[in-house]
Copies of this chain bind each other. A is one copy, B any other.
Amino acid sequence: MRLTSVDDVLAAERRLAGRIVRTPLLPCPQLGDEFALDVAVKAENLQHTGSFKVRGALNALLALAERQATPAGLTAFSAGNHAMAVAFAGRAFGLPTVVCMPPHAVPTKIEAVRRWGGEVVLTDDLLATCEEITAERGYHLLPPFDDPDVIAGQATLGRELLADGPPPGLVLVPVGGGGLISGVAAAVRRAVPTARIVGVEPATANVVGHALRTGGDAPATRPVSMADGLAAPFAGRLTLAHVRDLVDDLVEVTEADIRAAWWDLMAATRLLLEPAAAVTLAALRTGRVTAAPGTRTILVLSGGNISPTMLTTLP
């Protein structure tokens, strides 16, 4: 299986120029003090649509256009962030969009899709419903993570964090279906061979780790986590190949770990973050990931789409 090349990433970077936010890499001395590390955060919650997903979705759509294969419309299935990204991309290109989302999706995410003109279908059977709608309407299903153009789009985030600071010794990335870490690893691994790239999954939504251990199976029980953005129903084949080859380690954190880290990460960074982003801090707090004192450490903060009711449960 061909992994994402430097040329793929450069092509994505060229396509996305001027269309995405170059999100800041922000120093976080408070977390640096806590762990005796040199900590910075890649604030991807500040991306258009509030998550990294718009990088992959736009790159995939632009790549289709280059191949003269612009579709009549777009479909997607997603807990929310990919849905928002596809609706955003659809609006940018004047294409109708239908996204399948779970009935328990974060209300803010559903509203955002509708604000960008996307049609929302709430269903528990995301993949089958989405495939059916795609066939009926003759639209293009834009995959959430298991796609070379989507991964190359996410890789542009890795390029930016390399350009905006000293070479990292440790990069911590939230893992759902594996698209983000595949892209980041493709960009970082080749430029900084010594960097440790570690993925973090919720213990209750660990499809990538489960597939690595079992040789590719999806878990028997449906993944559920307060980090809703990471509860992918299955890992990708292409993302698994990237994780196997390019990622150093994959660790898990509990729901209690995520809950405890969430507010503290927002307070330390002054960013509005979704719980998915907090798995990175949870991995450091619980000692699942350690590094030598002073290590340049980057936490990839994947998104910031939450509903206010989620905040009322804070300590």
A contacts, CB < 8 Å to B: 21, 24, 26-27, 29-30, 45-46, 48, 50, 108, 115, 263, 266-267, 269-273, 304-305, 308, 311-312, 314-315
Contacting pair B24 A46 (CB below 8 A): yes
Assembly CA distance A29 to B24 (angstroms)? 18
Which residues from B are CB-within-8-Å of A24?
A: 24, 46
Q: List 22 A-B contacts (CB under 8 A).
A: A21-B27, A24-B24, A24-B46, A26-B46, A29-B48, A30-B115, A46-B269, A46-B270, A46-B271, A50-B270, A263-B308, A266-B272, A267-B272, A267-B308, A269-B272, A270-B305, A272-B272, A308-B311, A311-B312, A311-B314, A312-B312, A312-B314
Q: Which residue of B lies closest to A309 (CB)?
A: B314
14 additional contacts, CB 8 Å, given A46-B271, A108-B267, A311-B311?
A26-B46, A29-B48, A30-B115, A46-B269, A50-B270, A267-B272, A269-B272, A270-B272, A270-B273, A270-B304, A271-B271, A271-B272, A272-B272, A312-B312
Q: Which residue of B lies closest to A266 (CB)?
A: B272
Q: Which residue of B lies closest to A272 (CB)?
A: B270
Assuming the A-B contacts A48-B29, A272-B272, are A314 and B308 also in contact, with contact meaning beta carbons closer than 8 angstroms in the complex?
yes
Among A30, A108, A271, the most chain B Cβ lie within 10 Å of the Cβ of A271
Which residues from B are CB-within-8-Å of A272?
A: 266-267, 269-272
Assembly CA distance A312 to B314 (angstroms)? 8
Which residues from B are CB-within-8-Å of A266?
A: 272
Which residues from B are CB-within-8-Å of A315?
A: 308
Assembly CA distance A108 to B30 (angstroms)? 13
Contact of A45 among B48, B270, B314 (CB under 8 A): B270
| Nearest CB of chain B from residue A229's CB, rounded to whole Å | 13
Assembly CA distance A145 to B315 (angstroms)? 34
Which residues from B are CB-within-8-Å of A21?
A: 26-27
Which residues from B are CB-within-8-Å of A27?
A: 21
Assembly CA distance A278 to B308 (angstroms)? 16
Q: Which residue of B lies closest to A267 (CB)?
A: B108
